[in-house]
Structure 1
């Protein structure tokens, strides 16, 4: 672990410059530039809000706004966007950077850190856009929003550890890359993002609460929309599980690192 941290520190400028170059390369020929990072998730939110708001708006107690459903949807979308983008990016990370890994000598751990930095910047821009939409709708989060950095950290740890494991496996079993979007799509509908869990029958609620993303996404909605504290009991368990999963993912990554280059 000490060697890993030293390698990250020695290559810190390489990591930061790579994040900057990655963001710049994605939109170098685009007139709207970084705006595209937030247009897609916001467009999805708008579509869901227009279609479903009339159905679900009356079932969101605790939100005194006629735009209650749109606010609820935006709150959940922030956490989901960071999770799904991180898992997807990590899942294809080593395959997409195969040539770089073969031709350049650098600590391979830099690649996940660069990917995490890129997704974090994207998510912070989305957060800024969401705050602007909140202001336009007359909703202003209270001091509970200060817990957002904690939620973002837990999300990155969970998604990064899962994504790193999947990324390593994807090098040796390419079917993993095809499975990831299918699983994420199913997980999206099992997580209370476009609906409130209170609309489900009582017998189904406990089943849906077994979803590890439930306390995380609910905590985003709590601090951004309802002005209440995060779900600390669920988050504590999730953070502990994420730490264990991170250790497992790093172990698998270090063991497979040399062999991955040969396979790629």
Structure 2
């Protein structure tokens, strides 16, 4: 971690350069980062709002389902993009790892940092949509940065572990993509938990992503404080995964270049 701190300016400049190069020839630029999740949310809202809108307790707005969906998509977009970026980062940057001397741990941090920038623009767009729809925020929304931070650390730690494994077994990236597709539908993003049987809900509550999405919904949509037990559990898991990722990386880093 000390080496990562020493190379912090390298990390920041790399994120900035990646951002610039990604949209250097695009007329819409950073707008592309928010178009896909916004369009996806509009499609889901159009198709499902008439079915689920009447089952959103505590929200009086006629746009209740759209608000609920956007908040969930915001949480999912960060988690999904960070994990998938980190899973592939060592394989994608194999040539760079062999030619340039720098702490390899910077690579997943840079990839995750780029995803965080993307999510920041999506957050701004979603907050604007909320305001245009007449939704007001409570003081609970001030906790959103902390929730985003927990989501980021959890996804970065998990993605780094999977990225290391992907160097050895290339099927890991494909398997992760399939698992994430299933996890999306097992998380209350396009539906609400109250439509589920209690047995199913109890099982899904074991998922840390479920708890993160619930925290986004509580602060942004319902204007309530998120469940402290949920957040503390995910924060503890994120910290444990971060420690494990560092230990695993130190043990595997010397062999990664040969494996690549």
TM-score (norm 1): 0.96
Query: Once superposed, which parts of structure 1, at least 4 consecutive aligned residues long, lie more than 6 Å away?
Result: none
- In structure 2, what is the equivalent of residue 192 of structure 1? 188
- In structure 1, what is the equivalent of residue 243 of structure 2? 247
233, 237, 256: which one pairs with 2:252? Answer: 256
- In structure 2, what is the equivalent of residue 172 of structure 1? 168
C-alpha displacement at 1:171, in angstroms?
Answer: 0.4
- In structure 2, what is the equivalent of residue 227 of structure 1? 223
Which is worse superposed, 207-216 or 64-73? 207-216
Which is worse superposed, 224-233 or 208-217? 208-217
- In structure 2, what is the equivalent of residue 15 of structure 1? 11
Contact 2:109 2:156 in 1 (8 A): no
Between the two proteins, the alignment pairs up a number of residues equal to: 260
C-alpha displacement at 1:203, in angstroms?
Answer: 2.7
3-state secondary structure, aligned to 2:103: coil
CA distance in 2, matches of 1:168, 1:203: 35
Q: How does 1:1-264 map to 2 (within 5 A)?
A: 4-5=1-2, 7-264=3-260
CA distance in 1, matches of 2:205, 2:152: 21
CA distance in 1, matches of 2:159, 2:5: 22
Contact 1:216 1:231 in 2 (8 A): no
> How large is the RMSD of aligned CA atoms in angstroms?
0.9
Deviations 1:9-67 (A, max 9, x none): 32122111100011111111111000000001111100000000000000001111000
CA distance in 1, matches of 2:200, 2:172: 29
Query: Structure 1 202/8 Cα, relative in aligned 2: closer, same or farther at 3 Å?
Result: closer
C-alpha displacement at 1:69, in angstroms?
Answer: 0.2
CA distance in 2, matches of 1:230, 1:124: 21
CA distance in 2, matches of 1:29, 1:229: 43
Query: Structure 1 113/203 Cα, relative in aligned 2: closer, same or farther at 3 Å?
Result: closer
3-state secondary structure, aligned to 1:133: helix
Deviations 1:164-196 (A, max 9, x none): 010000001000011111000000011000000
C-alpha displacement at 1:202, in angstroms?
Answer: 2.4
TM-score (norm 2): 0.98
